[in-house]
Structure 1
């Protein structure tokens, strides 16, 4: 019995899925009716029922009038608007406060004159509405809309829509003419010195104890063994040894392996780490300034904040993370552990947090990385004096504002 019920249910689902393409036009038509339209239609049906049950002629007239009003409203949506609409956002990435615009171009592709058409352009949480004037066949109309760029974030621009309907709002037919363009606003940043200076000096790579046959850090000379690169034979040392001891063995250079600088930036996005949203925005700006410097120096960069993790980020992609990041409940030590797993070769890690962060958790996040990694912890405390101190092989920097960041990274910053 249970198997039979399952078969019937499965067959019904298959029929429903098969019928959906045929029902889609009906579904679109139903969605065009506004709540007020459904009220008018329902009142018409109710009036017909009252007239039929009690023989009240007045309700029959009311039902007929309401139905005629509904049908008249439907006639406002009949027909096609023959236009071609283009949307261009320039530029698509800006820093908060910069100017950006959306350029809208409308062309009449029909054979007759186009009547004035209202267009709506969603811009994030707001919408811009403007009226396209009447256009003769083939004519174009251009308009420019200023985009919101005061606050960092990612704002979906579009799609551009037209609304056809009756003056009373019973029927509303929305047509989309363009796709959606992401408008990305990066946080403000300050210029900081290159990663080769001050607290973050590391640009030439970190020397390890691992020997190498070819690198930049020369260590010693040794005897040649088969397989060595002949380009590293030290002919002067070979000749000197031969003249002193009569040895015919060749001497080759031996190097220490160096690793290219790989910076990691961890932004604490835990809600409890900050006194308010303004403090969090300063922390975002600090992290973005460091990322921007790494991008300019072409340093390998990995980033983490909340649920977002980027490895070997380059160019605009690295900065886009700070447009997306939002406060959440992610623990800073777990975020650090996730980044350490994704990018195990980092040589410098900067952890940016707020004034209310539990320093035990921040220290635990720093402890995720080995002692060979240069870890700098930056705490944003609005109004505090710039300070820098070392603790357990780590550097703790206290910032009162974004403007303190360049001095905090300099070699002569307050201790």
Structure 2
């Protein structure tokens, strides 16, 4: 921060001095005097720039040194992730529908959404890292990073969703995660009777909390160390984070994880509860149109309409599209590796010229139809149907 501020001040000062020098009227029309004036101007400018370099250079060096001191990039670069004891096969043909304007089924790490309370991502090297399991358990555990890598690791494709995601929003993504099962870890610790909340705590004190029942229902909740074939990116929780399908991230997806505590909802409120969010919030059935974009202009004829739909742990049975409030028509669904991921869908629209409303809804594998009733993300996630306007020419 300091070098950046110093650079901004220095640049501003330079501009002021240069502008004032240029604004001075020539002292004479004589060419020699004018040349001398220009030489004086260049000399003053050169002296100023040199002085600024002397001042800002050390500050920049300090900034680089501070950044190098606190970065975990070198530690991350040294990690060699072991092969999964339960590796996943490549995605089946037809999982990614390949429609132009529709993002890939697996979201690249660089494009994966990030929402957290940290102004700067915590830098946590693997050297000296420990994960402590404590609270209402029979045996406290303390695991190093190497201990976690030595466990039976599994790969799982899981879609994460942020509670702040608006209808049609982009705060959702799917990755192939590598980690150990949370239920196995807590079984070793021994969950005591009466414990009903699992709290994940970050190195910076941030907390998430979710029901113990989530750990016991067989879902693939992970203590994750890998994301899309590489160690977790620093911005996504390196070296260790939680990934729990079926719950919004604010409840469950603790990044830079350092503690797991078994407690009760009566005795502890995780970070967002005092700020108005619900203590418990399962993922809501949702769908989104990715292409065409809202207010896009398209040529009349067959127009591919495509997007994604999700309800992790339940799964999507059907997606339907309505044009101008008319009959709901079925879309084609891509394949999915499990009910813990979104599904891609596409619909071939015979588009006539004019302005048209295009709306999508999903139906889950329990038969529930996505609600049209609109609600905001606070307190437990947004609801409503995604609708766009398309101009057909």
Return the TM-score normalized by structure 1: 0.23
Larger RCO: Structure 1 or Structure 2 (Cα < 8 Å, ≥ 6 residues apart)?
Answer: 2
Return the TM-score normalized by structure 2: 0.24
More helix by share: 1
